[in-house]
Amino acid sequence: MELKFFWAQVRDLTVASLKSRYRKTFAGFIWVVLNPLMMFGVQSLVFKTFMRIQVPDYNLFLLGGLLPWIFFSSTIQMTTPLFVTQSYLLRSFKINPMVILTSQVIDNFINFIASFLLILLPFYISSDRSLSALLLLPFALVPLLIGTISLGITLSTINVFFRDTNFVMSFILNLLFYITPVFYPKSYIPVKWQWLVDINPAVYLLNPFRSVIYFEGNAFWIDLIKALGISILLMCVALGVWKRKRNDFYHKL
């Protein structure tokens, strides 16, 4: 019953957030697609045309890493300060902090799926690739969602106690973008520096998408198992941090 009530609150907050996000904007839902589309266009121009990265079907290669990265990084940036910015609500009403965080992540997740399909499908269909490979995409979504929620719980909880966490994470995410094979393949990294990729959890969460979109499912199940392992590890860390800090949580808000 308690779990059912939890998800009912998450659903209601998510629906309310989706309705209010673009309520008084001129373009409305178009912004969901416009932002990642502009980022994709600029990066495709810079890395493919100006820097001449030699990767076949580079647009699909870039989409397979960039779109899930935008969801991952933007969600982490939004959720890290969430408990602090919503401190008045948390202190005033009997609501589980995880309800607020989960609804925020799911809100972003729904927008990510919409923009992902609207931007990806035209490029994918025009590439004459088999659409059957896209049937694996729902499996790739699971570890990405679990891992992002888990990391969000960890960072937002720590940020209640150490307010610099929010600023540190913004800096780290900017660095991670350049050491995550989003716009270049891992093979471009010198062997002695590839350990930086191997310890980056974001890489494992993104790899199943590129395996489906660019490599048409080759090595997908191996990438998926690794992604699930990382997401479960992040979940265990999140549960450990919350269990350790929850007794002092409201005193520090």
Half-sphere exposure at residue 121, Cβ-oriented, CA atoms within 13 angstroms: 8
Number of domains, the chain:
1
Amino acid at 226: K
Please spell the DSSP secondary structure of 11-33, one letter per residue. HHHHHHHHHHHTTT-SSTTHHHH
On the CB side of 3, CA atoms within 13 Å amount to 0
Q: What tens-digit pLDDT sequence spans the chain (253 residues)? A: 577 888 888 888 888 877 776 666 666 667 777 888 888 888 888 888 888 888 888 988 999 999 999 999 999 999 999 999 998 888 888 888 999 999 999 999 988 888 888 888 888 888 878 788 888 999 999 999 999 999 999 999 999 999 999 999 999 999 899 889 999 998 889 999 999 889 999 999 999 999 999 887 778 999 999 999 999 999 999 999 999 999 899 888 8
Kindly provide the b/e burial profile for residues 50-59, where b requires at least 16 CB atoms within 10 angstroms of the residue's own CB.
Answer: eeebebeebb
Is residue 3, in this structure, part of any structural domain at all? no
Residue 169 lies in a domain: yes
Q: Is residue 158 included in any domain, yes or no?
A: yes
Structure tokens at 66: 């960039």
- DSSP-H helix ranges across 45-96: 58-79, 82-85, 87-92
Pair 36, 115: CB distance under 8 Å: yes
> SS3 for 24?
coil
Q: Is residue 8 in a domain?
A: no
Do 189 and 212 meet the contact criterion of CB atoms below 8 Å apart? no
Range of the domain at 202: 30-252
Is 15 part of any domain?
no
pTM: 0.90
